[in-house]
Amino acid sequence: MSETFDAMLTRRSVRSFKSDPVPQELVDKVIEAGLYAASGMNSQSSIVIQISDPETMDELRRVNAEILGAKPGFDPFYGAPMALIVLANVDVFTYVYDGTLTMGNMMLAAHDLGLASCWVHRAKEEFESEFGRKLLEKLGLDDEWEGIGHLALGYADGPLPEAKPRSEGRAFRI
């Protein structure tokens, strides 16, 4: 089996992370893989924001949990020391798909590099909030960007979960 195919079959979403920081050279490889994702008409409409500053990460956790409606103290990033946030340019009609492919590439790259990841939702709502607008402003970005997803990134605290059996009746032939 090819390494790519193996990565696709063995990658898992992790919901328990160690607090150990991820070396920047590994983060850069994960981001690079995301930026090489296929995109509609090669529009390359997605961008990636790395959040590794502990104070900003804590604020991200708080805002995301608030949007979720979670109880105080819940960490939607499962203790991950950092997050990669994918946004995409709303002026490109394939932007949601482009951003989704970016997320998928980054999850596979993280797994290949020995890192754990989990897609965390609510990026769209975050970047519609004051927190998100201020973050975009700080980066010199305008409102043409919509949040697609977050990648909680770090090292798994424990073994990877077992794969659940695949549901039957999901592939068809004509």
The 10s digit of each residue's pLDDT in 112-130 is: 999 999 999 999 999 999 9
Q: Find the domain containing 120 and state its range.
A: 14-154
The mean pLDDT of 50-67, rounded to a whole number, is: 98
Is 22 within the bounds of a domain?
Answer: yes
Phi and psi at 144, nearest 5°, equal -80, 0
The three-state secondary structure class of 149 is: strand
Is 125 within the bounds of a domain?
Answer: yes
Is 159 within the bounds of a domain?
Answer: no
Is 102 within the bounds of a domain?
Answer: yes
Percent of the chain at pLDDT > 90 equals 93
The mean pLDDT of 68-93, rounded to a whole number, is: 97
Q: CA dist 157 to 23, 110, 121, 172, Å?
A: 17, 15, 21, 38
Q: What is the pLDDT of residues 22-31, one digit of tens each?
A: 999 999 999 9
Is 9 within the bounds of a domain?
Answer: no
Tell me, what CATH number does 124's domain have? 3.40.109.10
pLDDT reported for residue 1: 65
- Axis crossing angle, helix 54-68 with helix 130-138, rounded to the nearest 10: 150
CA nearest 124: which of 108, 110, 143, 138?
143
pLDDT reported for residue 119: 99
Q: Do 148 and 119 form a contact (C-beta atoms < 8 A)?
A: no
Q: CA dist 125 to 97, 107, 142, 147, 161, Å?
A: 18, 22, 16, 7, 29
Is 29 within the bounds of a domain?
Answer: yes
Residue tagged 């979670």 (tokens):
70
Domains in the chain, number: 1
Is 114 within the bounds of a domain?
Answer: yes
Query: Cα separation of 129 and 116, whole Å?
Result: 28
pLDDT reported for residue 25: 99
pLDDT reported for residue 93: 97
Q: What's this model's pTM, rounded to 2 decimal places?
A: 0.95
pLDDT reported for residue 29: 99
pLDDT reported for residue 148: 99
CA nearest 151: which of 60, 40, 24, 44?
60
Is 165 within the bounds of a domain?
Answer: no
